[in-house]
């Protein structure tokens, strides 16, 4: 007979959604179990996502700067060479330290950590297969069950990644040698970040993108400039182009592509497929438990309280609709824990920032100029180049601009799109302004330190406010 344990909340998955929910619920007095099937806690983000990619982006940027930029600062270095094994070992250390932090957070919060693959077993029961052979079964009962099993990469139709010549993001974060020619299918943020890493470390990189712009969801003007900057760094792009077929040999990969103009093929030594992710629902027992999914995407449908069609079963993070981002998953995890303990909680999906950690960085929140236009909103746009700020000049990182979209009648900030140094950090003030329903004038009148990159946002806010004043209330 399998043993049965009872909890107030059973969380399946320990990614940024699951571990945050588990810790918060436990801190609020619930008896919580968190089940994880991978050997490490922390999910995609800590192990094969946000963290290892940012470690490699930071390390490779240092390498690139040392080679190409130090000299003009008067720093003589001699011949710079790469020790990839050390770079990778450092990445592993950062990941492992953060995984340990998650473990100690859960332990400190008195969450029971259970190792194994979980499945909904009907009603409020969850079955966990664990042990070395995966054959030991434990059944847990939960007053509430939270699904936080995240997502995994998808591939292209008819193309199966072999982990050798055809790889996905997890493998691209652990290559043992720098590829000679890395072909990347997909110009979204994962494809662009990994292209940047390997191009900086010396690979020839070609990105194949089906759409007419890279970073598809970003503001068009920002995306066009990002394309220009990355091209200058040596990355080649083929837009409006699809991968149709892939053939591999022992040392090579031949990628057939199709654009409006012609069929062609490119040869390289590695193909990275970075075309999107799918929700991890396989084997979760959704149907038997009565949990409905969203047609087409397979994501789990939830209401405003994150409850699925099955009472008492909740879902968050990459499993449900919305931007597949770690901070969105964590915010939802915290919200579920608070709602379950009777506290008020809600997520403002209009103010979730997204960042691409290329050089320059790209960060965005709220409406793009095109989206505002599609909504027929009268808007003002304030755009200010980083070249106009003292700090950018000091660092010689003058590429890019801050662009604010405001309502032309009220001056309310509707969106912010920044391409430039430290965009990932600067966007926070725009998110905060939007969270407070603030106006560009609020940012314009806020005193910013000098010289800082954030002065570009302040100057863009001044311009947006001047536009609103010039147009006057009531004029469209
Ligand atoms: P996950 O982090 O995927 O965690 C789900 C967990 O559930 C996993 O540990 C999995 O093993 C476990 N699990 C699955 N099924 C079961 C089961 N049946 N039983 C038990 N356990 C199970 N986002 C950002 O915000 N910023 C970034 O910079 C960023 N960079 C990224 C870079 C890359 C290369 C990738 C791939 C992703 C990146 N992301 C980034 C996205 C981010 O990683 C995800 O949005 C985030 O991890 C989703 O969190 P989650 O908790 O929903 O799921």
Report CA(16)–ligand 1 centroid distance (Å): 7
Residue that the structure tokens 């974060």 belong to: 173
User: pLDDT tens, 201-211?
Assistant: 999 999 999 99
**C-alpha of residue 351 to centroid of ligand 1, in Å:** 21
| 46 Cα: distance to centroid of ligand 1 (angstroms) | 8
Q: How many other C-beta atoms lie within 10 A of the C-beta of residue 391?
A: 18
Ligand 1 atom nearest to CA at 117: 19
Residue nearest to atom 46 of ligand 1 (CA): 326
Distance CA 80, CA 68 (A): 10
Residues with CB under 6 A from ligand 1: 12-18, 35-38, 43-45, 49-50, 53, 117-118, 148-151, 169, 190, 280, 284, 317-318, 324-327, 329
User: What is the number of the ligand 1 atom nearest to the C-alpha of 13?
Assistant: 7
Task: Compute the distance from residue 43 Cα to the ligand 1 centre, in Å.
Answer: 5
Q: For 381-423, what is each residue's pLDDT tens digit? A: 999 999 999 999 999 999 999 999 999 999 999 999 999 999 9
Q: The pTM is what?
A: 0.96
Angstrom distance (rounded) from CA 203 to CA 6: 53
Closest ligand 1 atom to residue 324 Cα is 45
For residue 4, is pLDDT > 90? no
**Crossing angle of the two packed helices 50-68 and 189-200, in degrees rounded to 10:** 40
Decide if pLDDT at 324 tops 80: yes
- Give the residue whose CA is nearest to atom 14 of ligand 1: 149
The candidate with the shortest Cα–Cα distance to 383, out of 454, 437, 456, is: 456
Is residue 327 part of the annotated active site? The answer reads: no
pLDDT at 3: 55
Mutate to test the pocket of ligand 1, among 11, 44, 352 (most ligand atoms within 8 A of CB): 44
| Residue for token pair 């966990």 | 128
Paired sense of beta strands 253-259 and 241-248, if any: antiparallel
> What is the C-alpha to C-alpha distance for residues 451 and 69, in angstroms, rounded to an integer?
21
pLDDT score of 475: 53
According to DSSP, the β-strands at 117-120 and 361-366 are: unpaired
**Consecutive H or E run containing 133:** none
d(CA 98, ligand 1 centre) in Å = 14
Task: Spell out the residues 6+ positions from residue 10 whose beta carbon is closer than 8 angstroms to its own.
Answer: 32, 33, 35, 118, 126, 140, 142, 144, 145, 146
Residue 135 is predicted with a pLDDT of 77
Q: Which of 186, 326, 353 for mutating ligand 1's site (highest number of atoms within 8 Å of CB)? A: 326
The predicted structure's pLDDT at residue 466: 97
CB 168 within 8 A of CB 182: no
Atom of ligand 1 nearest to the CA of 327: 25
Pocket test for ligand 1, best of 14, 41, 45, 128 (most atoms within 8 A of CB): 45
Tell which atom from ligand 1 comes closest to the C-alpha of 16: 51
How many Å from the N-terminal Cα to the C-terminal Cα in the chain?
72
pLDDT tens for 284-317 read 999 999 999 999 999 999 999 999 999 999 999 9
Angle between helices 18-27 and 326-340 in degrees, nearest 10: 30
- Lowest pLDDT segment from 110-124, 129-143, 344-358, 382-396: 129-143
Ligand 1 center to 25 CA (angstroms): 20
CA atoms 32, 37, 40, 43: torsion sign: negative
């Amino acid at each position: 007979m399998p043993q049965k344990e009872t909890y107030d909340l059973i969380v399946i998955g320990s990614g940024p959604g699951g571990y945050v929910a588990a810790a918060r619920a436990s801190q609020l007095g619930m008896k919580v179990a968190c089940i994880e099937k991978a050997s490490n806690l922390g999910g995609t983000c800590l192990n094969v996502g946000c963290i290892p990619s940012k470690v490699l982006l930071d390390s490779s940027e240092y390498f690139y700067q040392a080679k190409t930029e130090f000299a003009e600062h008067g720093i003589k270095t001699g011949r710079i060479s790469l020790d990839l094994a050390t770079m990778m070992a450092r990445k592993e250390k950062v990941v492992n330290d953060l995984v340990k932090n998650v473990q100690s957070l859960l332990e400190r919060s008195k969450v029971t950590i259970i190792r194994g693959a979980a499945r909904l077993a009907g009603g409020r029961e969850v079955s966990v297969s664990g042990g070395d052979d995966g054959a030991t079964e434990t059944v847990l009962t939960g007053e509430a069950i939270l699904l936080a099993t995240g997502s995994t990469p998808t591939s292209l139709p008819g193309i199966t990644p072999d982990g050798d010549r055809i790889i996905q993001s997890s493998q691209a974060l652990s290559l043992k040698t720098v590829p000679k020619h890395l072909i990347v299918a997909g110009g979204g943020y994962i494809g662009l970040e990994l292209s940047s890493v390997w191009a900086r470390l010396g690979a020839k990189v070609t990105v194949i993108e089906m759409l007419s712009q890279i970073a598809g969801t970003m503001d068009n003007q920002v995306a066009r400039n990002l394309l220009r900057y990355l091209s200058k760094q040596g990355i080649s792009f083929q837009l409006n182009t699809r991968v149709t077929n892939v053939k591999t040999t022992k040392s090579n990969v031949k990628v057939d592509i199709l654009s409006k103009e012609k069929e062609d093929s490119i040869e390289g030594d590695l193909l990275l497929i970075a075309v999107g992710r799918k929700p991890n629902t396989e084997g979760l027992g959704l149907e038997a438990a009565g949990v409905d999914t969203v047609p087409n995407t397979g994501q789990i449908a939830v209401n405003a309280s994150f409850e699925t069609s099955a009472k008492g079963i909740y879902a968050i993070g990459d499993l449900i609709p919305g931007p597949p981002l770690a901070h969105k998953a964590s915010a939802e995890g915290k919200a579920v824990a608070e709602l379950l303990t009777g506290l008020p909680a809600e997520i403002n999906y209009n103010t979730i920032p997204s960042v691409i950690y290329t050089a320059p960085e790209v960060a965005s929140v709220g409406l793009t100029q095109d989206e505002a236009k599609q909504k027929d909103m009268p808007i003002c746009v304030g755009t200010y180049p980083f070249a106009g700020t003292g700090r950018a000049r000091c660092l010689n990182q003058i590429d890019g601009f801050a662009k604010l979209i405001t309502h032309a009648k009220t001056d309310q900030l509707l969106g912010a799109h920044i391409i430039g140094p430290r965009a990932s950090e600067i966007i926070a003030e725009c998110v905060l302004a939007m969270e407070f329903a603030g106006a560009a004038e609020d940012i314009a009148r806020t005193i910013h330190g000098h010289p800082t990159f954030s002065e570009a946002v302040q100057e863009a806010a001044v311009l947006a406010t001047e536009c609103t004043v010039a147009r006057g209330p009531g004029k469209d």
